[in-house]
Amino acid sequence: MTIEVAPVTRHITQPRINAYAAASGDHNPIHVDPAFAAGTPFGGTIAHGMLVLALIGEMMHAAHGDAWNTTGKIKVRFKAPTPAGSTVTASATLSKQADGVAEYAVQCATEREVVIEGRATVQVAE
Amino acid sequence: MTSTSPASIVTFPRGHEFVPASFTIDAGRIAAYLDAIGDHGAYGDAVPPLAAVALALEALQSEISLPEGSLHTGQEVEHLAALAAGEPLTMSGRVAQRSERQGYVISVLELEVASAAGIAVRARATIMAPAAAS
């Protein structure tokens, strides 16, 4: 059985970043202090990498349900920062399915570039 | 948990074992996490695995600080078993790899989150931090 994975698109606003900082306990000023971040090479605040990666987790959970929570694997590189205000789309393309394991090429991209790239696997019924 | 101040990640050698931390992720924290990321999926009382990783990283903050200019450049997560809201969890972690390149220390942190039933989530985070921060 082949399972299609629907993309997830989300606007990564500063309030969302602030909420993630509160939920995760990561209050690094590069994420939550616009005045500080303006003086860094990024020129402004950027989203937590784990916040953007969570879109891949959401997308895979939506497609695979509990199997994702108990058999899923992700391996990704954070290729570029995600500036506050970006719209991010997470997507997955099935690259292989064999022996009860589906492997997807996954990525998160803003309007400008790919910010996360890697692969995800999950056990599936055959 | 220790009462010592956190030290810069660049000061930890390869093989360093962090002090195991005990924590729980209650339903309120899960709701706050899901609301923050905008995920309205049906998790029941299950802990989203990436929430477990994020909160395990939070538990490490008592030992590790990230100097200005640090970058989270890679992440691996392996889900092994479901975690339920409110169950006691233990986070253990170590520095699996450490190298230096072009003025940066590259550290790979391995984390495991376990419940009473065993290891539920394994994660590897790659962090680049300015070597000058040491």
pLDDT tens-digit series, residues A70-116: 999 999 999 999 999 999 999 999 999 999 999 999 999 999 999 99
CB contact under 8 A, A23 and B32: yes
Shortest alpha-carbon distance between residue A79 and chain B (Å)? 7
pLDDT at A125: 86
Residue B14: CB atoms within 10 A of its CB come to 12
Q: Is the ipTM of this complex over 0.95?
A: no
Place of tokens 């990525």: A107
CA distance A93 to A106: 7
* H/E stretch holding A35: helix A34-38
Cα separation, B109 vs B97, in Å, equals 7
Give A76 to chain B, closest Cα distance, Å: 5
Q: Name B7's bridge partners.
A: B64
Which residue in A16, A55, A78 is closest to B36 by CB distance?
A16
Question: Which residues neighbour A19 within 8 Å (Cβ) at sequence distance 6 or greater?
Answer: B32, B35, B36
pLDDT of B1 reads 43
Within 8 A of B46 by CB-CB distance, chain A residues are 66, 69
How does pLDDT run across A26-65, given as a tens digit for each residue?
Answer: 999 999 999 999 999 999 999 999 999 999 999 999 999 9
